[in-house]
């Protein structure tokens, strides 16, 4: 029993640290990517021992700055809820990763260890449940601040996240109709099969329309441009206007954690997850008959690296779009979610069912 607990905590420790390291890296990546797009140098003013390292020391400088700032609770605010709100936002954002597989499995002696913190048959429902609970963090932040602008930002965040979570769930129904499971690891394994003997059956190939709808709704879930209405500086200050120090740092971090979460879900559901085309448990088997044997350790490393590269690619894509599109008005945001994306996701369900019936009748 204690061995199972050690394995569980080890997987959780590795996954959380990987997410937090990537979160820190994204804070630098966003600055440098926007600088390249706008023909600027970007962050490069925080050297360590005279070494600027393309601005990477800014990650440490930001953490130190927020750590040493004064922790402020506004007069008339609820101190307990004001403290709990960022903790809840971070906790549920990180918990969502527990059911996402970042590799297949490794064998240590007689024990098979799956590279997934929580092995759940309903892993997708667990992820959506944790994402839904994250709403409490943003709403409580606005509610406990005794500030009407923070409260308005909390209301905007709540209504936006609830609205687009419905669309996110509907966009995945077509994918679930094809794979017939809610187990994320099983969904990834199903995407390892080949269509016509050479084309990987990734979700983006089977559900290209669902992929676009899911990615759009995922943008809204992260509350970032062009869906950053809960924190739009030109309209309201946002639900964390009364936060400082590491409490503000927690909300700042959650935005990037949610970006990684949407990227990980996109990679898992639509880009084959840890699957690499033509890579099996004993090595590569190419459609033209060539094989290349690999050790089990090499296969595991390639699978984990494949998942990581896909997540990084989707993160890069999301940052690219974030610095390309302007912010929506709030009425445009709601119209897009309820009158365009939701009907299109329902239409995608009917189209998927039609094609599945058509294929079964042949």
- Cis before residue 226, ω within 30 degrees of 0? yes
Residue range 165-176: average pLDDT?
A: 93
Residue range 276-297: average pLDDT?
A: 91
Rounded distance between C-alpha atoms, residue 12 and residue 277, angstroms = 27
pLDDT tens per residue, range 244-267: 999 999 999 999 999 999 999 999
Residue range 43-50: average pLDDT?
A: 85
Sorted by where each begins, the domain ranges of the chain are: 2-360
- Quick check: 114 pLDDT over 80? yes
pLDDT of residue 224: 86
225 confidence band (pLDDT: 50, 70, 90): confident
Where is 283: in which H helix or E strand? strand 283-285
Where is 76: in which H helix or E strand? none
Helices (H), the chain: 2-37, 58-68, 79-95, 123-133, 135-143, 148-171, 173-179, 184-190, 203-206, 208-222, 245-270, 296-322, 330-335, 342-360
Rounded distance between C-alpha atoms, residue 306 and residue 311, angstroms = 9
Question: Which range (88-97, 104-113, 313-322, 337-346) has the least confidence?
Answer: 104-113
pTM: 0.95
pLDDT of residue 186: 95
DSSP-derived pairing of the beta strands 194-195 and 111-114? unpaired
CA 238-241-245 angle, to 5 degrees, is 130
In DSSP terms, which residues pair with 272 in a beta bridge?
none
pLDDT of residue 276: 94
pLDDT of residue 121: 93
pLDDT tens per residue, range 54-76: 899 999 999 999 999 999 899 99
pLDDT tens per residue, range 91-105: 999 999 999 999 998
52 confidence band (pLDDT: 50, 70, 90): confident
User: How many whole angstroms from its chain centre is CA 281?
Assistant: 27
Query: Which residues 6+ apart lie within 8 Å of 113 measured at CB?
Result: 7, 11, 105, 106, 107
Closest CA to 324 of 26, 28, 23, 38: 38
Q: What are phi and psi of 357, to 5 degrees?
A: -65, -40
27 confidence band (pLDDT: 50, 70, 90): very high
Contact criterion met (CB below 8 Å) for 322 and 224:
yes
110 confidence band (pLDDT: 50, 70, 90): confident
Tokens of 155: 């209301």
Query: Which residues 6+ apart lie within 8 Å of 347 measured at CB?
Result: none
Rounded distance between C-alpha atoms, residue 185 and residue 100, angstroms = 8
Tokens of 69: 């700032």
């Amino acid at each position: 029993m204690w061995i199972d607990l050690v394995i569980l905590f080890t997987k959780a420790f590795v996954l959380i640290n990987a997410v937090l390291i990537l979160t820190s890296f994204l804070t630098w990546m966003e600055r440098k990517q926007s600088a390249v797009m706008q023909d600027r140098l970007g962050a490069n003013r925080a050297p360590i021992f005279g070494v600027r390292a393309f601005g990477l020391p800014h990650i440490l400088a930001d953490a130190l700055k927020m750590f040493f700032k004064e922790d402020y609770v506004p007069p008339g605010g609820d101190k307990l809820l004001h403290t709990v709100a960022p903790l809840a936002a971070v906790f549920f954002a990180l918990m969502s990763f527990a059911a996402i597989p970042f590799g297949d499995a490794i064998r240590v002696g007689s024990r098979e260890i799956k590279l997934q913190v929580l092995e759940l048959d309903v892993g997708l429902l667990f992820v959506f449940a944790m994402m839904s609970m994250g709403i409490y963090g943003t709403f409580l932040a606005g509610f406990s601040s005794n500030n009407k602008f923070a409260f308005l930002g909390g209301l905007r965040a709540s209504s936006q996240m609830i609205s687009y979570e419905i669309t996110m769930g509907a966009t995945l129904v077509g994918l679930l109709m094809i794979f017939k499971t809610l187990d994320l690891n099983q969904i990834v394994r199903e995407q390892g099969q080949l269509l016509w003997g050479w084309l990987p059956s990734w979700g983006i190939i089977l559900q290209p329309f669902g992929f676009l709808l899911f990615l759009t709704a995922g943008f809204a879930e992260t509350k970032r441009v062009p869906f950053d209405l809960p924190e739009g500086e030109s309209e309201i200050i946002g639900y964390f206007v009364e936060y400082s120090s590491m409490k503000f740092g927690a909300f700042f971090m959650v935005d990037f954690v949610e970006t990684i979460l949407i990227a990980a879900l996109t990679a898992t559901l639509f880009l084959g997850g840890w699957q690499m085309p033509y890579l099996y448990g004993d090595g590569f088997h190419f459609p033209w008959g060539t094989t290349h044997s690999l050790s089990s350790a090499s296969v595991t490393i390639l699978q984990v690296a494949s998942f990581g590269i896909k997540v990084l690619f989707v993160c890069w894509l999301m940052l690219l779009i974030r610095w390309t599109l302007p912010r929506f008005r709030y009425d445009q945001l709601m119209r897009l979610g309820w009158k365009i994306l939701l009907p299109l996701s329902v239409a995608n369900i009917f189209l998927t069912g039609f094609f599945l019936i058509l294929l079964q009748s042949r």
